[in-house]
Amino acid sequence: MKKIWDIFWRFLALGCVSFGGPAAHIGYFRTTFVERLQWLDEAAYARLIALSQFLPGPGSSQIGFAIGLRRGGLYGSAAAFLGFTIPSFVLMYLLAVGMPGHNPNVYFTSVVFGLKLMAVIIVADATLSMFHSFCKERLSIGIAAFTATFLLILPSIWSQMTLLAIAAVIGSMYGKPQETEASGQSRFRWIPLALFFILFFGSPFLSFISSWGSLFADFYQAGSLVFGGGHVVLPLLQELLAETISTDRFLLGYAAAQAVPGPMFSLAAFLGSELTEESKLIGALLATAGIFLPGFLLVISLQGAWETLAARPGISGAAWGINAAVVGLLMTVLYRPVFISAVSTPVEMALVILGFFALRTMKIPIVALVMVFAGIGLFLRG
């Protein structure tokens, strides 16, 4: 138990200070667990990063979960997840229960206005970064462009799922993935893999049992389909929850998820509370469990065999195609709902441009920009 508690406290400390999103989290983990503590070497850490890119789910949290799994087994993985997630979960839950949801006053609407502008900047930065990373060839650029065009014309969750599947097939046949070496290790854990598919296909039936089951099912489905990390959960959740939560509240939660340390998937705690009238804490817990669980079941199932699988051109090619389609997804959501719900005047567009410059070029911390744009909202609309 001493080792398990050590894992928990290490990740809790990181969960309190890991601002900046998934890319920054990867850096925090490397500094702590590769350089300082030497829990694993550079090659093993690189393989965990590759695994998190291939699987759906919260990329940086999956890396932390896998580190805990290597260090302390299933108890260690649970300790890593809880430690890294608790700070952001608590902050997002307090935001949901502490900010008014109906008939908001002028100060609240002013802050929402500023944070919606901030959300435009964040999604634009993520889209550009992922375009540079995943769209380097003519085919990958074409996949991204076709995905964005199709979804702008026919937006739906089923369109997104179909396009991701098509991109995976195209990538497996014609993609240009990076070459990797196999380690000879090949061991699946079939029980968690079977549980993943049972819940994926069976969770929609929970909607007929109770509202709690419906809430868990929606977030489990979203967590099962998100390739590319926290930013990509935005279009999936927006589509799933469009009829049950307002765009303003959704974007408030999304912007707040940028400002708190830890995983962006903690947005689920905010949304789960928003969607629950009776016990908001239970709603937050169910939504959070639902969105994180599929990615973690897959990590437990596939981590032992990943080195062998990653060396197969078909598998790495499918991931290449999916990553390109994800860029198209982000292009779509950048326009709708993020841009069209936030920017309507030249002044607002100018603020977005300046904020993008501050984030992209001047490297201003995201938490500082969130505070600045909340203040801008109060100044312009308060």
Of all residues in the chain, the percent with pLDDT exceeding 90 is 35
Amino acid at 297: L
Q: Which residues contact 252 (CB under 8 A, 6 or more apart)?
A: 95, 99, 111, 112, 115, 116
Query: What's residue 142's pLDDT?
Result: 97
pLDDT digit string, tens, across residues 209-266? 888 998 999 899 888 877 655 666 666 777 777 777 877 788 788 777 877 888 888 9
Percent of the chain exceeding pLDDT 70 equals 88
Cα–Cα distance measured from residue 274 to residue 270, given in angstroms and rounded to the nearest whole number: 6
CA–CA distance, 287 with 299 (Å, rounded to integer): 20
Q: Taking 70 as the threshold, does the pLDDT of residue 177 lie above it?
A: no
Residue 185: per-residue pLDDT: 47
For the residues 309-333, what does the mean pLDDT come to? 79
Tell me what pLDDT residue 363 has.
86
pLDDT at residue 170 in the model: 95
| Whole-number pLDDT of residue 96 | 87
What mean pLDDT do residues 58-78 have? 91
Q: Mean per-residue pLDDT for 280-299?
A: 94
Average pLDDT estimate for 5-11: 96
Query: Which range in 181-190, 289-298, 321-330 is most confidently predicted, on average pLDDT?
Result: 289-298
